[in-house]
Structure 1
């Protein structure tokens, strides 16, 4: 009498989940980790302002969730829910975090200093293994000094640095929009286009990049030509407010225009308001280095506001709040 061999149980491990901001910093943090730890992943992302990403994550017992470049303070309830469901969370970020959970399955790599970005935190975690992508992320987040410091530490020449900086700018520009339909490329599609390239410059040079880099570059040039022609609506010593038209090109240009204006006039605060299709505005705020009032502190005075010391925003400012916002903005930053 023959006996069938006993069946061996196979453990099927679910792919790790990455919830990441769709801007340059989030993309470059993700890229470093996938290059170092493996490409298989479930990606959860959206436009830059889509920061409540963990609402869209459902993790079964044992799931591995990595969160990149979105505030813990804005996701705390879902962090706790995922921990209660049995997930393990690894959190890399540089935004205001609030009180963090004390839990054996929660690991935080959070630094809210104004000269730090998430890509740099991941770079430190990986021991500089993919530092060129960290530099791209730093420049995308308008942290020029950080990008230069990383380049010096790793012997990267000026010409190469300029190319890395340009890629960072383009990746960041792509993330701005009210919805993914406003963007040239959905962030998850951009993440997959970047993935094969350990060297960012190989991506920019590759014929096999499906024209992604060329399309980003051309779109940026066209959008910014229009944006640079705009005049400020409110302009006082030390503070300037620009209201954009309600068009897709303007929504894409919002963050890059804010960063560019601040670099040109580093001693002035700048608010850029972009109309939303359903009414109200998205606000991007940039403030000078050493300013007594942080951009994040100012924006948190308004519901849906938050960010970093020098760069922050408000996801929804009702139209009825425009005058109050403008008055507070001028009062806070006028010199």
Structure 2
């Protein structure tokens, strides 16, 4: 029997697996990648009796491989908060899915474990752009402002490491970063002792310095669109910038387009009104788009489609114009 731990390489995926393996230790092959590497179930074959744990990758994006692995006789436990419109029941599929805007995969694992390692769920929620949820969890547990700030920084840095066009853009391979994190039961010990934390803190400060003086490419009443150059620093900060903007300007929606080496764009989108204008619904109208209610993305937007994207983005997320848009 072979075991596989399949997880998104961002803060949520790493912290979700970390919690689970602290509570339920298991030797497993790690399958992960950069944040937008989400078709992870296509990367390996299974046989009857193999055990898969899947965390924080879209079920809809992996539906064919999921069915294939189940047909081969694998036992699969799946935690996720992204779109799961194709979810189904199977005797060997144990699905923990919640698409609410205030949930991340680490929170689902935390529920499953009855708050056993809740601090890592707080780290993940901060990293996954759910600061109000994270702060409420931390405050209820008795953490002071300084402690909350430290966990927020850790979450942001773990998330920052996941962004890039490929693994080559990242400071640490997500599997290696997970293994470093997994040496620590207490996140404050990681903050105070791990060399990886120092590297990420310094690299983050260096990359964010490039953002000084950045201006929106296009704005409307409730939207802003930014375009970043084809530079490694831009690929690393694209999602962090989108998260930061949503915290600074509540109620406004943002798109960050980052130029890829081939001339196309990768797009990070944040909705300022996740209930009425879910990011996942908008992104799913594009061939390589997807996500969740509050945040989504497009993995490959051709340069020829940028003008159309901008018009559609403003029409969808600006409430003054949204009723006029048809997504059929």
Question: How big is each residue's C-alpha offset from its partner over 1:105-144, in whole Å with a ceiling of 9 and x where there is no partner?
Answer: 0010000000000000000101111111110000000101
How far, CA to CA, are the matches of 1:227 and 1:46 in structure 2? 25
Q: 1:61: how far off?
A: 1.1
Partner of residue 257, structure 1: 241
How far, CA to CA, are the matches of 1:298 and 1:80 in structure 2? 26
Question: How big is each residue's C-alpha offset from its partner over 1:252-305, in whole Å with a ceiling of 9 and x where there is no partner?
Answer: 000110011111111211100011122311100011135522111111111111
- Work out whether residues 216 and 224 of structure 2, in 8 Å CA contact, stay in contact via their aligned partners in 1: yes
Is it true that 1:51 corresponds to 2:38 in the alignment? yes
Partner of residue 116, structure 1: 103
SS of 1:229's equivalent? Answer: coil
1:97 equivalent among 73, 84, 88: 84
How far, CA to CA, are the matches of 2:79 and 2:224 in structure 1? 33
Q: Runs of at least 4 residues of structure 1 off by over 3 A? A: none
Q: Decide which moves more: 113-122 or 56-65.
A: 56-65
SS of 1:329's equivalent? Answer: helix
Q: 1:332: how far off?
A: 1.6
SS of 2:90's equivalent? Answer: coil
Partner of residue 273, structure 1: 257
Unaligned 5+ segments in structure 1 are: 1-12
Question: How big is each residue's C-alpha offset from its partner over 1:289-325, in whole Å with a ceiling of 9 and x where there is no partner?
Answer: 3552211111111111111111111111111110110
SS of 2:241's equivalent? Answer: helix
- Work out whether residues 271 and 294 of structure 2, in 8 Å CA contact, stay in contact via their aligned partners in 1: yes
How far, CA to CA, are the matches of 1:111 and 1:290 in structure 2? 15
Correspondence list, 1:1-335, <5 A: 13-14=1-2, 16-206=3-193, 209=194, 211-289=195-273, 292-334=276-318, 335=320
Q: Decide which moves more: 277-286 or 226-235.
A: 226-235
Q: 1:155: how far off?
A: 2.2
How far, CA to CA, are the matches of 1:293 and 1:284 in structure 2? 15
Q: 1:39: how far off?
A: 4.9
Unaligned 5+ segments in structure 2 are: 321-328
Q: Decide which moves more: 55-64 or 108-117.
A: 55-64
Q: 1:230: how far off?
A: 1.5
Q: How many residues align?
A: 319
Higher Cα Rg: structure 1 or 2? Answer: 1
- Work out whether residues 49 and 73 of structure 2, in 8 Å CA contact, stay in contact via their aligned partners in 1: yes
How far, CA to CA, are the matches of 1:142 and 1:17 in structure 2? 28
Normalised by the length of structure 2, the TM-score is 0.95
How far, CA to CA, are the matches of 2:212 and 2:100 in structure 1? 30
How far, CA to CA, are the matches of 1:111 and 1:228 in structure 2? 37
- Work out whether residues 270 and 294 of structure 2, in 8 Å CA contact, stay in contact via their aligned partners in 1: yes
Partner of residue 324, structure 2: none
